[in-house]
Chain A
């Protein structure tokens, strides 16, 4: 081999190695700095039907979120309402959030049953002051200061379980969380089936695992369609967010036949969607990225919202709004 050929190959390998080493250092730095969720799961009560996690900081810093913000610039009302009640600015103060729900959908206000576990930078004095202005009482429970409002209209409690760690939810939920952490009540960690699904999805920027019964009543699909679906036990979803969204939805059916039936149902919906959206480049790009896979009792649906697809969707939306 000629000398100049050897030098060229060495230079090429050197460039590649240098870039890969840079990437490895950046990735390792991020992995060390990033928070992991299992610690927070210790607060989730054993009767939780749904657990969802989001790395809020990563989502907020992602180009994907900037794009969504451009698409939906006017919709800040819900966030403002939460800040007015609690003094917490979600975008500024929160790093990660884990939401658990007992999923009792027969209760008139199911969202109040949810427990929110957030990591971030919180002004405890200001937040407690705001709660007390609205009639909250301070109580001690398992060594923690619990600020709770309970009247006909509200049932909300808040406690700082550790430095930068906030628990917020219904009074019973917050106390149940402290019980679970103290080992006085069974936590969700004892549910091996649930935790196996959590371990399968918890590498994403955001993920969720839910008992299907608990979410079926809240599905955007008509009840008739939900009732026709093959029996499903669990639903899990995860998403990695960077400049786009790389998502996966996994359903655990009751048996393998149900999984095959479910795959066929979803395949049918996808074909219909492809037929409907074939003229819209945004939807077509998204549908082209969809991949369906059935293995054993699991049916997984992968999809991607790339920057190009988002651009097409936003362009399509703008045209429709006009």
Chain B
């Protein structure tokens, strides 16, 4: 890697953050963060009013159980990986597709700084949207009396979500700088491979990110290692790779 990294990365971060928050893709992020809040409000009002009882497989589901399900199924198995794939792959791939990568490369900065700045912008952007969304869902769905006992669990869930966003983002950023059509492969990995591998017996499930996001698996070190290595590889790849833009 050539040239200073942090200063240019910071300038790239500020530029990319604004684009991410107020660009076209922000609509998808808004929906991903807003829909669970809306669902939580509806569920809480319905359950509290007693106008309806939610029954799954013959058993009544309370709001705390619904929050647990929302975290594990909605956030960790859908929103976090989906945001990681869509944003991670597009960070560089979109610049290539729209042929604007040339404008970034002609700037007097290391290519690695572009990747680092964009990745940090992605991370701040998605964490700033997803974590408050999950926190709001928690206070909406869980009665105040139960907030105390569940507080530790929620803190852990928020930490796991942030770590998941960081890991998926870094992995698909690497895919974005390495492959021509990274989005399709990313979607297959997240919603195909991970879903299948998690139910297979043996050690295959260890080859997924979702496995390390489970509460019973001590996966913090693994997730951090994957995120750092993938980010490093992405920075290395972009420094060496030549991008031929289609005419």
A-side residues, CB < 8 A to B, are: 1-2, 4-5, 8-9, 12-13, 15-16, 19-20, 22-24, 26-31, 58, 61, 63, 66-67, 70, 242-244, 274, 278, 289-291, 302-304, 306-308, 310-312, 314-315, 318
Contacts and interface: CB of A to CB of B under 8 A. Distances in A.
A30 B57 CA distance: 33
Contact of A5 (B17, B59, B136): B17
B69 A8 contact: no
A63 B135 contact: no
Interface in B174-190: none
A19 B136 contact: yes
A27 B150 CA distance: 8
A321 to B, nearest CB: 12
Contact of B132 (A2, A19, A66, A244): A19
Contacts of B139: 19, 22-23
Contacts of B151: 23-24, 26-27
B201 interface: yes
Contacts of A311: 56-57, 59, 61
A243 B148 contact: no
B64 A318 contact: no
B147 A23 contact: yes
B51 to A, nearest CB: 20
Contacts of A8: 21, 128
Given A19-B139, A70-B59, A315-B59, A13 B148 contact: no
A12 B129 contact: yes
Contacts of A15: 132, 135-136
A242 B135 contact: no
Contacts of A4: 22
A141 B132 CA distance: 59
B128 A302 contact: no
A291 B21 CA distance: 40
Contacts of B18: 1-2, 5
Interface in B48-89: 56-62, 64-65, 68-69, 72
Nearest to B33: A12
Given A5-B17, A27-B148, A20 B68 contact: no
A26 to B, nearest CB: 4
Contacts of B154: 23
A26 B153 contact: no
A27 to B, nearest CB: 4
Nearest to B144: A26
Interface residues of B, number: 43
Interface in B124-172: 124, 128-129, 131-132, 135-136, 138-139, 144-155
Given A67-B59, A242-B64, A9 B124 contact: yes
B244 interface: no
A19 B215 contact: no
- The residue in B136, B149, B150 that gathers the most chain A C-beta atoms within 10 A of its C-beta is B149
Interface string B28-60: 000000000000000000000000000011111
12 contacts: A16-B131, A20-B135, A27-B147, A31-B148, A63-B65, A70-B60, A242-B64, A243-B62, A278-B201, A306-B72, A307-B69, A311-B61
Nearest to A290: B216
A5 B21 contact: yes
Given A5-B17, A5-B18, A16-B131, A304 B216 contact: yes
A186 B68 CA distance: 46
B14 interface: yes
Contacts of A31: 148
Closest 9 pairs (CB-CB, A-B): A30-B148, A307-B65, A19-B135, A26-B148, A26-B147, A12-B128, A27-B151, A15-B132, A23-B151
Contacts of A304: 215-216
Contact of B217 (A5, A23, A291, A318): A291
A76 to B, nearest CB: 20
A66 to B, nearest CB: 8
Contacts of B58: 314-315, 318
Contacts of A26: 144-145, 147-148, 151
A300 B149 CA distance: 23
Interface in B203-226: 214-217
Nearest to A9: B128
A289 B68 CA distance: 15
